[in-house]
Amino acid sequence: MYVHVQVVPDARKELVTKKSETEFSIAVKEPRERNLANKRVRELLASEFGVPLGKVVMLTGHRSTSKIFTVEVV
**Residue 44: CB atoms within 10 Å:** 20
On whether the CB atoms of residues 45 and 56 are closer than 8 A, the answer is yes
Q: Are strands 23-27 and 56-60 parallel, antiparallel or unpaired?
A: unpaired
pLDDT for residue 49 is more than 80: yes
Q: Phi/psi class of residue 61: alpha, beta or left (left: φ > 0; alpha: ψ in -120 to 50)?
A: left
Rounded to two decimals, what is the model's pTM? Answer: 0.93
Q: What is the pLDDT of residues 57-70, one digit of tens each?
A: 999 999 999 999 99
